[in-house]
C-alpha cells in the first residue's frame, strides 16, 4: 500500500506532518507531496518537524489566482499519476490545494482521505473559498476523518454513509504535543516578548480584509490602551493586510508588531498569552490546550465546539462586539475545561484505519 499525503500551505503542513511521521513509523510506504501553494511559509515549517518533501510541484508564482492554483495542482497530479501509483491520497482541510488534489485523485480512481472532514460555517461565501472547498472534498472522499463528534454529525446530516466516517480528533493537537516535547517554549517566547502581560493577535482572512479588519483593529487598540496591556501581533505577509494593520496601529505604544513567526514561536506566544484574538481556524483548536480563551474575530465559525466548550466567543467584526468580547476574555478562568478538539493521537488513528 502506498499513501500520498498532500500539503501546500502552512496550516496544512502543521496538520499533516505528524500523520506523515506516524505513517513512516508504522512502516507504510508514504510520499510527502508539496504543491508549494505558499512557498516561503511551507519551507519554514519543514525543519520544525524534521521532514522533507518527497515530491515538490513548486507551483507558486507571483499574483496567482485561485484558478491558477487549481489548474496547476490538477495538472501536477495528472503528471504524477503517470509515474507513481497510489492506493490513497490524503488531503487536509479546505485549501485550494486540498480541493484540487482531491478532485484530481478522484478522477483517476485513487481513494481520497479527508483529514478534518465535516467542518461547516453554513455560509458558502464565508469563509471564501474554504467553505466550498471542504464541501467538495467530502463529496469525493472514501474516508472522512472527522475531528469531533459534532463534525461527524454534520456529515451524517448531509447524508454521508457512516462507514466512511471516523472520528479521530484533530491532528493539530498532535502537532502541538510534538512541539511541546521537542522545544523550550518559554525560551522561544522570550526571544519575541521578554516580560509582562500581553494578548496574542493573528488576522489574515480574505473575507476580513478591508473595513472588517479596520473595525477589529480599532477594538484591539482601544482595549490595549485602556487596560495598558501589550498586544503581540505577527503580521501576515499579505500586503493588503500589512497596510491596514500598520495604518490602524500606528503610534500605539502597546502594539508589538513582528514579522511572521514559525510554528514553534507561535505556539510559545500562545502558551504565554492572557488570551488570543484571531480570525484563524487553527488557533481556535490550539488555544484550549493551554487554557486560553479565544476571541473569534469573524462573522461565522466552522468550529462551534470552541464556543460550546466555553473556551471562546464569536465576536463578529464590529468594533463594539470585539471590544466586549475582549473584556470577557480578560476575566476568563479555564478551571477544569478540556480541549474539545483532541488528545494528540489523531495521526495514529488515521493511519491505522487504512492499514486494516
**Is 206 a catalytic site residue?**
yes
Catalytic residue among 134, 236, 303, 349: 236
Nearest-Å Rg of the Cα atoms of the chain is 20
**Is 12 a catalytic site residue?**
no
Neighbours of 274 (CB within 10 A): 17
Helix axes 39-49, 10-25, angle to 10 degrees: 30
Cis peptide before 127 (omega within 30 of 0): yes
- 201, 233 in Cβ contact below 8 A? yes
Question: E strands along the chain, which residues?
Answer: 2-7, 29-34, 55-56, 88-92, 111-115, 143-146, 165-167, 198-202, 230-234, 255-258, 276-278, 294-296, 312-314
Catalytic residue among 204, 205, 212, 230: 204
Taking the CA of residue 52 as centre, how many other CA atoms within 13 Å lie in the half-sphere pointing to its CB? 1
Catalytic residue among 10, 12, 38, 94: 94
**Is 130 a catalytic site residue?**
yes
**Is 116 a catalytic site residue?**
yes
Task: Return d(Cα 306, Cα 280) in angstroms, integer.
Answer: 13
Distances (CA, A) of 162 to 134, 135, 343: 18, 17, 22
**Is 149 a catalytic site residue?**
no
**Is 236 a catalytic site residue?**
yes
Catalytic residue among 10, 12, 38, 116: 116
Catalytic residue among 130, 174, 188, 207: 130
Task: Return d(Cα 170, Cα 344) in angstroms, integer.
Answer: 8
In angstroms, the first-to-last Cα distance of the chain is 11
- 198, 256 in Cβ contact below 8 A? yes
* Cα dihedral 205, 75, 59, 57 sign: positive
- 15, 48 in Cβ contact below 8 A? no
**Residues annotated catalytic, as ranges:** 94, 116, 130, 204, 206, 236
Amino acid at each position: 500500500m502506498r499513501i500520498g499525503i498532500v500539503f501546500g500551505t502552512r496550516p496544512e503542513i502543521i496538520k499533516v506532518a505528524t500523520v506523515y511521521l506516524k505513517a513512516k513509523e508504522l512502516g507504510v510506504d508514504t510520499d510527502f507531496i508539496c504543491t508549494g501553494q505558499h512557498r516561503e511559509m511551507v519551507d519554514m515549517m519543514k525543519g520544525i518537524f524534521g521532514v522533507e518533501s518527497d515530491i515538490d510541484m513548486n507551483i507558486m508564482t507571483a499574483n496567482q489566482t485561485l484558478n491558477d492554483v487549481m489548474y496547476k495542482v490538477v495538472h501536477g497530479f495528472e503528471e504524477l499519476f503517470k509515474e507513481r501509483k497510489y492506493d490513497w491520497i490524503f488531503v487536509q482541510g479546505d485549501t485550494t490545494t486540498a480541493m484540487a488534489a482531491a478532485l484530481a485523485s478522484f478522477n483517476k480512481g485513487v481513494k481520497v482521505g479527508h483529514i478534518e472532514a465535516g467542518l461547516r460555517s453554513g455560509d458558502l461565501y464565508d469563509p471564501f473559498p474554504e467553505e466550498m472547498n471542504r464541501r467538495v472534498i467530502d463529496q469525493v472522499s472514501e474516508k472522512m476523518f472527522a475531528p469531533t463528534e459534532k463534525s461527524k454529525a454534520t456529515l451524517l446530516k448531509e447524508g454521508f454513509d457512516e462507514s466512511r466516517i471516523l472520528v479521530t480528533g484533530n491532528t493539530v493537537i498532535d502537532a502541538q504535543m510534538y512541539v511541546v516535547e521537542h522545544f523550550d517554549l518559554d525560551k522561544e517566547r522570550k526571544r519575541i516578548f521578554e516580560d509582562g502581560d500581553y494578548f496574542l493577535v493573528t488576522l489574515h482572512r480574505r473575507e476580513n480584509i478591508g473595513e472588517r479588519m479596520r473595525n477589529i483593529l480599532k477594538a484591539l487598540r482601544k482595549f490595549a490602551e485602556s487596560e495598558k496591556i501589550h498586544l503581540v501581533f505577527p503580521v501576515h505577509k499579505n500586503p493588503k493586510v500589512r497596510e491596514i494593520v500598520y495604518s490602524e496601529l500606528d503610534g500605539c505604544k502597546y502594539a508589538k508588531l513582528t514579522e511572521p513567526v514559525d510554528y514553534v514561536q507561535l505556539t510559545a506566544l500562545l502558551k504565554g498569552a492572557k488570551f488570543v484574538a484571531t480570525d484563524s481556524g487553527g488557533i481556535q483548536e490550539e488555544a484550549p490546550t493551554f487554557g486560553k480563551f479565544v476571541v473569534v474575530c469573524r462573522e461565522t465559525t466552522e468550529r462551534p465546539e470552541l464556543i460550546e466548550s466555553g473556551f471562546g466567543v464569536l465576536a463578529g467584526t464590529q468594533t463594539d462586539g470585539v471590544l466586549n468580547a475582549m473584556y470577557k476574555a480578560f476575566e476568563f478562568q479555564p478551571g477544569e475545561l478540556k480541549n474539545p478538539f483532541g488528545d494528540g493521537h489523531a495521526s495514529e488513528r488515521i493511519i491505522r484505519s487504512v492499514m486494516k
